[in-house]
Chain A
Amino acid sequence: MNKMSTSSHTEKNIYQPFEATVVDIKEETPTIKTVVLKIRSNFSFRTGQFIEMTVPGLGEAPFTPSSDPGVKTSIEVTIMKVGMVTEKIHGLQKEDTVGIRGPYGKGYPLDKFKGKDVVIVGGGVGLAPLRSLLLSLFSDIDNYRSICLRYGARTPADVIYKELLPEWAKKKKVDVVTTVDIGDPSWKGNVGLVTTILKDLPVDMKQAVAVVCGPPIMMKFVTLKLLDIGFKPADIYLSMEKSMSCGVGKCGHCRVGKFYACKDGPVFTYEELKDIHDIWD
C-alpha cells in the first residue's frame, strides 16, 4: 500500500448518473430527433464536451450536446437512431426520466479560435455538436474574424436544423453553404459531397482554423481536402467518434494511439492524430 493516493471514501461514484427530465422532443429528420432535457442547476458543460445519457435498464451512450452552453437550465441533444439505446431515446415522451453523466472530455479550445476565421465543416448528424459550437461563437462574435459553415447531408430529407440554417446565414460575419450528396426536385442548392464546397473559402488561410465533425469517411476526405487547400495539421480540429463507455479513461474502449478519446478528446487536432494508424476506421 505504498504510493497510494490519498483519496477519501466520500468521493462521488463516477458511474452514477443524475436524473434529467425530458421537456421537449423535436423531430429533425425521420431518423434524427432533438431531445430537450431539464437539468439540475449545477450542471454545465463546455462546447464540444460530451455526456453519457442513460436509459435506465437498457444502457447508456455518449452524445455531445447541441445546445448553447450558456443556457444553464436545459440542454439539447440531437440523436440519430442507430442502435438500442438511441431507439429507446427516440421513443421517449415528455416528462420521462433519463440519466446523465458528465460532462466529459476537453471540448473545443475556443481560446485558440479567437481572432481567427473559423471554418466549420459538418456531415449529417455531425452538425449537432457543431451547433453548440456555433451558438458559443455567435454569443461572442466580436472575438472572431468570421465563421464559415459548410454542411453536407446525404439527401435534402437528411438535413438537420432546416429552420436554423437560413437564420444562421443571416448573421453578421457568418457564411453558410450547404450541399446534399443526392438532390431531389425540391432541392435548389448544391449537389455533391461536402468536399466540393470547400473550394474558395472566404477566409485568410494564415489565420484560419477548421473544425470537422461527421462520419469517419467524411472526416477523412474533408481533412485531406483541408490539407490540400493549405490548412496546417495543427489547425484542423476533428471530433473522434469512438466507443466511449466510462468517460473517464478507465474502461479502455476508446483508445486512439496514446490517447483516450473520452478524456484526451473527443476533439483532437489532426497534428495529434496524423501518425496514428487507422484513425479513420
Chain B
Amino acid sequence: METYFLKHEDILGFYERIDQEYQLLVPTKITAPLALKCESGINLPTDDYLLKHYSQLKKEEVAFNDYRCVEPIRTYFTHFKEEVCSYFPNDEKQETQTKPFAISGVKNCDLFSLKIQDFVFLGGNEPDTLYTQRREGALIISSDCPHFKEACFCRAFGIDPYPQEGFDFNLSALTHGYLVDVGSPKAKSLVQALKEILVPATSGQLSGRATKRDGVVKHLDEHLLYHKIPAKETLQDIVRHGFDSSLWQEQIQTCVECGGCVFMCDTCHCFLLADQPEGENAKRIRIWDGCLYKNFTRVAGGANPLKMRYMRLRNRYLKKFDFFIDTIGYQACCGCGRCIEVCPGRIDIRHILRRLYEEKNLQVKESA
C-alpha cells in the first residue's frame, strides 16, 4: 500500500480537491465541559464529533476526530427513513445523477460495521439497489484514533483503533501532519491530482506512526481491564448458555424502549417497509426498525414471539453474538460503545457480556 505525508496546513487542500468530485462530509467538534478519568487513571476525552457537509463549514470548524463520531456510519448508506419505490411506474425510473459522497473521520469500528452492512445489503441473491449505489459510489476516508472515549471497547473484540483495510484513504495524525494510506484504485486515481501536497512517507514517519498506534492500544487495553469484557471467542457460548439467565429480566428493568441502542448501533440493520400516504401518490418507505420495540416480531392476528421486554433484550444479544457468528463467522458488534452512551437506562453491553461470562464459568466451576 502506498503511503504519503500530508502537511497539517494542506489538509484543507486535500479536502478541497475531494469536495470537487464528491459531496464531502467531515467531522466537526462539539466541546463538552466535562473532565473524566478512568479507573486506570487515564484522562478520557468527553468531546463529541458530528459529520457535516464540508462545503457548509467554515475552515476553522473542520476537525480531526480523535475517535468515532456520534452518528453511526450506516446512516449514510441506508437512511433512517426514505422512499424506496412508488406505485406503479410505467417504466424504470431514471436515477437523478448526484455527486457520490465522501466521508472523512470514519474509524476502524465503523469499517468493521460496514462489513456487516455489506453482508446484509449487498449479500444474498437480491442486493439492495440504493445501498449498492451509495456504497460503490462513496469514498471512505478513515483515520487512526489517537484517543478513545470511556465507552470505546473495540480492542476487547480484537478490533484495533486504526484501520488497515476497507478504506479508500486512511489518515494517521502525526505531530506535523498526516500519513495518508492509499487503499483503493479509486483513491489512487485521486493521488495524481493531489501530488503537489502529497509526498512519499519516510521510514521515520512510518515508525513514528507505529509507536503512536502502540501507545493508544496500550492505554485502551489498560482502560478495558476494568470492564473484563469476555474475549470474542467466548461470545457465542456465553449468550447461548445464558438463555435462561435471570440477567435479562434484571437488566431490562431500566429500559424505556426508546430504541436508542438499535438506532445508534452501527451494525444493526433491521428495517420495516411501510406505505404512505394512502391514495394515489402512495410511496413505499423504508424505515429503520428495532428489535427492542414490542411489535417487532408481532404477526397479524397478534402472536408475538418476543412479547416480553426481557425477551427482546436477549434477542438483541442472540442476533449479534449467536446468529451472526453462525452466519458470517464474527459478531455484529464493533465495540464503538454508542449504545452505552445513548442509553438513558444505563444498560451497558460490556457489563451484560461480563455477567454472562461469569455466570457460565461460575456454574461450570460449581458443577465440576
Picked from A54, A97, A216, the residue with its CB within 8 Å of the CB of B275 is A54
List B contacts of A17 (CB < 8 A): 85, 87-88
List A contacts of B296 (CB < 8 A): 243, 253
A18 and B277 contact, Cβ closer than 8 Å, known pairs A250-B120, A250-B121, A250-B269: no
Please measure, in the bound complex, the distance between the C-alpha atom of A4 and the C-alpha atom of B118, giving whole angstroms: 8
Closest to A85 in B: B300
Q: How large is the interface on A (under 10, 10 to 19, 20 to 34, 35 or more residues)?
A: 35 or more
Please measure, in the bound complex, the distance between the C-alpha atom of A36 and the C-alpha atom of B219, giving whole angstroms: 67
Total number of A-B contacts with CB less than 8 angstroms? 150
Query: A140 at the A/B interface (Cβ < 8 Å)?
Result: no
Closest to A257 in B: B323
The answer on a CB contact under 8 Å between B323 and A255 is yes
Query: B278 at the A/B interface (Cβ < 8 Å)?
Result: yes
Tell me the smallest distance from the CB of A214 to a CB of chain B, in Å: 12
Closest to B88 in A: A19
A252 and B291 contact, Cβ closer than 8 Å, known pairs A245-B272, A246-B273: yes
The answer on a CB contact under 8 Å between A250 and B122 is no
List A contacts of B319 (CB < 8 A): 252, 255
Query: A233 at the A/B interface (Cβ < 8 Å)?
Result: no
Interface digits, A1-34 against B, CB 8 Å rule (1 contact, 0 not)? 1111101010111111111000000000000000
The answer on a CB contact under 8 Å between B300 and A15 is no
List B contacts of A150 (CB < 8 A): none
The answer on a CB contact under 8 Å between A56 and B282 is yes
Picked from B88, B166, B282, the residue with its CB within 8 Å of the CB of A2 is B166
A16 and B279 contact, Cβ closer than 8 Å, known pairs A9-B132, A245-B272, A258-B327: no
Tell me the smallest distance from the CB of B363 to a CB of chain A, in Å: 18
Query: A251 at the A/B interface (Cβ < 8 Å)?
Result: yes
Interface digits, A86-100 against B, CB 8 Å rule (1 contact, 0 not)? 100000000001010
Interface digits, B132-153 against A, CB 8 Å rule (1 contact, 0 not)? 1101101010000000000000
Closest to B186 in A: A1
Tell me the smallest distance from the CB of B249 to a CB of chain A, in Å: 15
Interface digits, B180-217 against A, CB 8 Å rule (1 contact, 0 not)? 00011010000000000000000000000000000000
The answer on a CB contact under 8 Å between A243 and B299 is yes
Please measure, in the bound complex, the distance between the C-alpha atom of A85 and the C-alpha atom of B301, giving whole angstroms: 12
Tell me the smallest distance from the CB of B299 to a CB of chain A, in Å: 5
List A contacts of B129 (CB < 8 A): 9, 11-14
Query: A131 at the A/B interface (Cβ < 8 Å)?
Result: no
Task: List the 3 closest pairs (A to B, CB-CB), nearest first.
Answer: A252-B270, A57-B282, A83-B300
Binding site for B on A (CB under 8 A): 1-5, 7, 9, 11-19, 54-61, 80, 82-83, 85-86, 97, 99, 215-216, 241-243, 245-246, 248-255, 257-258, 263, 277-278, 281
Binding site for A on B (CB under 8 A): 84-85, 87-89, 95, 115, 118, 120-129, 132-133, 135-136, 138, 140, 165-166, 168, 183-184, 186, 243, 269-279, 282, 284, 286, 289, 291, 296-301, 303-305, 307, 311, 319, 322-323, 326-327
Please name 28 pairs of A and B residues whose Cβ atoms are closer than 8 Å in the assembled complex, sorted by A: A2-B166, A3-B115, A3-B118, A4-B118, A15-B284, A16-B84, A16-B284, A57-B282, A58-B282, A59-B274, A61-B300, A82-B300, A82-B301, A83-B301, A216-B303, A242-B297, A245-B271, A250-B120, A251-B273, A252-B269, A252-B319, A255-B323, A258-B326, A258-B327, A263-B124, A277-B243, A281-B304, A281-B307
